[in-house]
């Protein structure tokens, strides 16, 4: 099957609009010879004459009128699509898809994502949260958000710079008749809210202090795989929890939860926004990257 270039089809429509090969050549910025050659090539490949030509006039043949009627709407749709694509290079618009851990999405939502949406109201952001690691390119995402140690080595990463740590917490009433754990091993004598990882394995609680590392398989009445559910259980006194500090910092400040073993929970790797090299990326993508860099540099109000 012969493939025709757009310029040949555009030449036909330009001749119809302008009424002559010469005027069409001026509109398209081509020589009259180039226009004539393009139409002649198309006619040979279609094996049909599209124009009746004389030294003084040019008109469509019957086959030409049918051909133009069919290709004109299609070329208009193509031109519209091309104009839309160009517009996205100039003004942030369209959709950005981001893949992240749920906790990571919560951490960037207010300071970064909502700020972006306020600045660029023509952009739609689609965030998918999941525990498993995915290939963001193969899965159709523009960006990913993960802790620095989980970012693929061949990706471009922007550290978001926020201090992150685990918080071991319980409700104030939980310790009314119980001793407060002083070292991680004390947790083994208390009911805990256990966590399940995306691969189905139980989360081991990890602690580090002065070079000493402790990992525990805690016990308790309930196992959950979502931080918001664990928070509800902990606030209601079901047990001690092991959550991201960002997920419970307001509860700690309000006195709904108390934090323990803080000296055993050092800072974690920072969150990173990451992506792969994007040539001719959209204005929406470029604006999000620029905002993330400002966020990292502390330039966002």
Look up the CATH architecture of domain 94-163+269-296: 3-Layer(aba) Sandwich (3.40)
- Between residues 135 and 79, which one has the greater pLDDT? 135
Give residue-wise pLDDT tens across range 165-205: 999 999 999 999 999 999 999 999 999 999 998 888 999 99
Q: Is 165:270 a contact under the CB 8 Å cutoff? A: no
Cβ atoms within 10 Å, residue 140: 12
Q: Name residue, tokens 């002083």.
A: 182
CA distance 59 to 171: 86
- Confidence (pLDDT) at 278: 72
Give residue-wise pLDDT tens across range 83-135: 666 655 678 888 999 999 988 998 899 889 999 999 999 999 999 998 888 89
Write the DSSP symbol of residue 156: E
- Confidence (pLDDT) at 77: 85
Return left, alpha or beta for 200; rule: phi > 0 is left, psi -120 to 50 is alpha, else beta: left
C-alpha 295 chain-centroid distance: 17
CA distance 126 to 129: 10
CA distance 203 to 226: 12
Q: Is 50:12 a contact under the CB 8 Å cutoff? A: yes
Q: Is the pLDDT of residue 1 over 50?
A: no
- CA 165 vs CA 34, 188, 197, 201: distances in Å: 67, 21, 18, 21
Give residue-wise pLDDT tens across range 238-258: 999 999 998 999 999 999 999
- Helix (H), strand (E) at residue 115: helix 115-119
- Confidence (pLDDT) at 88: 58
Mean pLDDT of the chain: 89
**What CATH number was assigned to the domain covering residues 166-264?**
3.40.190.290
Give residue-wise pLDDT tens across range 15-45: 988 888 988 888 888 898 998 998 999 989 8
Nearest residue to 191 via CA among 254, 238, 249: 238
Q: Is 242:260 a contact under the CB 8 Å cutoff? A: no
By residue count, the chain amounts to 301
- Confidence (pLDDT) at 165: 93
Q: Is 237:131 a contact under the CB 8 Å cutoff? A: no
* Report field, pTM of the whole predicted structure over 0.85: no
Cβ atoms within 10 Å, residue 27: 14
Domain segments of the chain as ranges: 6-90, 94-163+269-296, 166-264
Q: Is the pLDDT of residue 299 over 90?
A: no
Q: Is the pLDDT of residue 154 over 50?
A: yes
Q: Candidates 3.50.50.60, 3.30.1360.70, 3.30.365.10, 1.10.10.10; correct CATH number of 6-90?
A: 1.10.10.10
Q: Is the pLDDT of residue 161 over 50?
A: yes
Domain 94-163+269-296 shares a fold with domain 166-264: yes
- Confidence (pLDDT) at 85: 66
- Confidence (pLDDT) at 138: 85
Q: Is 145:100 a contact under the CB 8 Å cutoff? A: yes
Q: Is the pLDDT of residue 3 over 70?
A: no
Q: State both tokens at 112.
A: 């970064």
């Amino acid at each position: 099957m012969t493939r025709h270039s757009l310029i040949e089809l555009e030449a036909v429509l330009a001749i119809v609009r302008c009424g002559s090969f010469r005027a069409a050549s001026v509109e398209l910025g081509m020589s009259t010879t180039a226009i004539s050659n393009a139409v002649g090539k198309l006619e040979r490949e279609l094996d049909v004459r599209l124009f009746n030509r004389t030294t003084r006039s040019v008109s469509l043949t019957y086959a030409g009128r049918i051909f133009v009627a069919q290709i004109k709407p299609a070329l208009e749709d193509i031109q519209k699509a091309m104009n839309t694509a160009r517009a996205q290079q100039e003004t942030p618009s369209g959709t950005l898809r981001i893949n992240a851990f749920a906790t990571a999405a919560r951490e960037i939502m207010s300071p970064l994502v909502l700020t972006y949406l306020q600045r660029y109201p023509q952009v739609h952001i689609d965030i998918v949260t999941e525990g498993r690691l995915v290939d963001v390119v193969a899965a159709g995402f523009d960006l990913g958000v993960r802790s620095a140690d989980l970012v693929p080595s061949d990706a471009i990463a922007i550290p978001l710079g926020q201090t992150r740590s685990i918080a071991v917490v319980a409700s104030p009433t939980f310790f009314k008749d119980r001793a407060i754990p002083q070292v991680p091993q004390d947790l083994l004598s208390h009911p805990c809210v256990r966590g399940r990882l995306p691969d189905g394995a139980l989360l081991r609680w990890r602690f580090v202090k002065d070079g000493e590392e402790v990992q525990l398989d805690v016990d308790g009445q309930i196992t959950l795989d979502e931080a918001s559910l664990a928070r509800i259980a902990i606030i209601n006194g079901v047990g001690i929890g092991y959550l991201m500090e960002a997920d419970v910092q307001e509860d700690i400040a309000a006195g709904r939860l108390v934090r323990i073993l803080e000296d055993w929970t050092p800072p974690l790797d920072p969150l990173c926004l990451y992506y792969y090299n994007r040539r001719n990326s959209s204005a929406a993508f470029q604006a999000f990257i620029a905002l993330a860099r400002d966020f990292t540099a502390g330039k966002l109000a």
